Structure 1
């Protein structure tokens, strides 16, 4: 058995007491236990392994807790060794300076050089910068997501603002003050306000004109964040129109340009000044001009026949203002209009009354407001336009009701196939399956192509009804449509 007082043990190491046996009273009976041997060192004791009925001095929970603390601090746990004579020795190493289980290499490693300290500082700074960069990237991504949400919301609002039920709320009709001084000025403002758009009385670059602006979604009526529209309607007075048209007629007759400004040259001057504008002219009262000149011509003829000179002189005084305008016929006005359209691509709208002018401005305002929505709707990429009853498709119920109409439309979508021709084909083959079965029973390819050619088409009723055949062309196209296995094969140039 190892002696606890071994002289070769290190004097610097101290062996604490972990277990202690309480003193037993003296008894005359012989004891079967071996006596406890104590060493000269009072802090280390060994006990016999046979003393199971004696309670330890240090509780087990305390010893386990202390062992865990030592392991966390790097202190090696205590070791237990059995001696040859049955005693157990509990050894716990402790360093002189209080750091248990530390090796000299570890103590030396704690003493870092200046280079190591600097390197550690640089590493810490690098990590800090990496964290800051990562945080900055996260912030940039977050801002990008927020900006994307704002942009998507703005796009959705712009699309919504173009709908027919919403577009008029964002329109601003700019009316020249000169129009309000005319006969229908008040009715024009009332009509635009009843339409739902905003009216702005502003001096326009083009005289006696009405222009439009479109507000961006979210902008107020008083804000300047508006996009001007290209369309402009100019109200041309009857006197100016007659004078300009008459100058054109005189220039055409004489072949000289000294007759004054013509209607075409006047419009071309406006287009050069405002190249971004799409002009349209409106003239009110042209029919009254023609009627008045017709009445004057008839009166002059009657006066010449009857010889009522006195009455004619009085009439001249009353109609002196009307006689001040040059006299133009309808044919001459049409010539001036044709020349204007060919050289300027500008049309003139002739209206009878000012109420018609107010209604025309209202219709033009609604058309300008809905123009972007209609352009986007018509931009479908198809080279053809379906009728209203075709655009919605054909509804088919679970019971199969509607399949016959689907088959009818499939036949009728071929070129130059009317409803009567499709009905004649359906009367013999009410489903595509029956027609494909008939094709499979044909002996040759020629028989397939001519299968439908002899079907009769009846048009009308009674004695006025006519009968004709489907013909080989339609029969061939239907056969190719249902029986061809080549995906690149076409039904023909007129299919």
Structure 2
């Protein structure tokens, strides 16, 4: 159905010809405004109530502009007026909605409703998508975290495995470095020490130590290759210097060796020092031979003969007038050990000094492995011992002997006491049930006090009682619930 144009018409019965032709006069004014709304809107023009003619105007349907539907010919051209005076007096006209406008509003509401649903659905889809994306990112982060934790755990296991392997006695020597002081190489023992270290494939360094003729050891971390100084050190002292310290402490009243040890310990960072002295046995042997020679000369009335030159390896080291005895040396060393904690070793020759340093290095390298192996798994767990074990077969033979062994674990409990208690209570369960039947705690603690114990046999037989102290200990052991309580 073609669109129509509504024009003004009079409601009076007057001649229609008296009204102006609004099609030709109003169209030039309305076309620019109505051309865009021609297909969807309907116009209604009404005159104002204050109109001079006092006539209502209403809308009537007209044909579309431009084309006559019947003849399909162009409509009569619209003419325009040059002046506003020629236009009829139209006080007011308004545009009102008709049924088509209501339908348009319903369509608009429907479109708006559809748009709202579409936007809401779009927002919901976006929110669901964002939630899925968030969960996906969280899963990726969790997956990465688990992968990192797994890699760290694997690296930790590998590090622990490598560390345990490096601490074994066969491998620990590869992760130590022996540091030798330059002054040690000037002594006769220095060349022997280097020779022994090279034969054992040990790494060593020659450094300037704060203490002369000192040997220190560095531990190398198998993972980080970081070097740490061990808490052990060896000081090799010449025989003349050691004898001078002993004489100064014994005969002059000075601190001597103790003072020297404190200085060493402060310079080496509170390390545990072991003093090594070479040739002390040769010194005492030469002293004994010298005394015997002097006594023989005095008896025979001979003048003292000059001492023969010894071989290079047997030169006398003591040239002082005051001779130091073995008792003096022992007294000084015991004093240093009690007051300062000094360890000492006396070696006969330079080869044994080098062997001792090699053994000392091996002991320091194996110390972490031995400490870890010696630590118990539980602080309260008694260390296993295979001595005096009791074998129990399936038929129960050996249980009584095992009960005797358990009783003998208490202090001052011998075979006779254990057998006397086992005669009255042949099993731990029987003893526990007897404790439960006691009325008071005192009665239970003294339950075993009056049991008689036979000692020896024959005419030398004697009897005694278990006693209250042992009875209380056994009672506490079998009835207490406090793991920290002591039996003493």
- Of residues 324, 328, 335, the one that matches 1:332 is 328
Deviations 1:439-465 (A, max 9, x none): 899999599735763121339xx99x8
Cα gap change, 1:142/1:283 in structure 2, threshold over 3 Å: closer, same or farther?
same
TM-score for the superposition, normalised by structure 2? 0.59
- Cα deviations across residues 76-110 of structure 1 (Å, max 9, x unaligned)? xxxxxxxxxxxxxxxxxxxxxxxxxxx99887667
Could you tell me which residue of structure 2 aligns to residue 207 of structure 1?
A: 212
For 1:368, the equivalent position in structure 2 comes to 364
What TM-score, normalized by structure 1, do the two folds share? 0.59
Give the whole-Å Cα distance in 1 for the aligned partners of 2:302 and 2:372. 67
Question: For 1:27-426, what aligned pairs fall within 5 Å after superposition?
Answer: 123=127, 128=133, 131-132=136-137, 134-164=139-169, 167-176=172-181, 188=193, 198-203=202-207, 205=209, 206-217=211-222, 224-252=225-253, 262-309=256-303, 312-315=304-307, 322=317, 324-325=319-320, 326-380=322-376, 382=379, 388-389=385-386, 396-419=392-415, 421-423=417-419, 425-426=421-422
How many residues align? The count is: 373
Q: CA deviation at 1:233?
A: 1.4
Structure of greater Rg: 2
Match of 2:475 in 1: 480
CA drift of 1:178 comes to 5.6
**Cα distance, 1:239 vs. partner?**
1.8
1:215–1:226: 8 Å Cα contact kept in structure 2? Answer: yes
Give the whole-Å Cα distance in 2 for the aligned partners of 1:156 and 1:320: 53
Contact between 1:451 and 1:475, CA under 8 Å: does it hold in 2?
yes
- Decide whether the 8 Å contact of 1:167 with 1:370 is kept in 2: yes
Question: Would you say the 8 A contact 1:453–1:470 is kept in 2?
Answer: yes
- In 2 relative to 1, CA 384–141 (structure 1 residues): closer, same or farther, beyond 3 Å? closer
Contact 1:425–1:452, Cα closer than 8 Å, also in 2:
no
Return closer, same or farther for 1:370/1:320 CA change in 2, 3 Å cut-off: closer
State the alpha-carbon separation in 1 of the partners of residues 169 and 259 from structure 2: 38
Unmatched segments (≥5 aa) in structure 2? 1-106
Structure 2: how far apart are the matches of 1:440 and 1:138? 59
CA distance in 1 between counterparts of 2:364 and 2:194 reads: 17
Distance 2:249 2:149 in 1: 63
In structure 2, how many angstroms separate the alpha carbons of the residues matched to 1:386 and 1:362?
32
Q: What do the CA deviations read for 1:186-225 (whole angstroms, capped 9, x no partner)? A: 7656766777x73324326243333323333357xxxx43
Q: CA RMSD in A?
A: 4.9
Partner Cα separation in structure 2 for residue 374 and residue 304 of structure 1: 59
In structure 1, C-alpha distance between the alignment counterparts of 2:437 and 2:135, rounded to whole Å: 79
Deviations 1:361-414 (A, max 9, x none): 344334323333443455446589757336x97664434354334312320121
Contact 1:480 1:491 in 2 (8 A): no
Map of 1:456 onto structure 2:
454
How far apart are residue 289 of structure 1 and its match?
A: 0.9
The 1:322/1:155 distance shift into structure 2, 3 A limit, reads closer
Conserved in 1, the CA contact under 8 Å of 2:183 and 2:213? yes
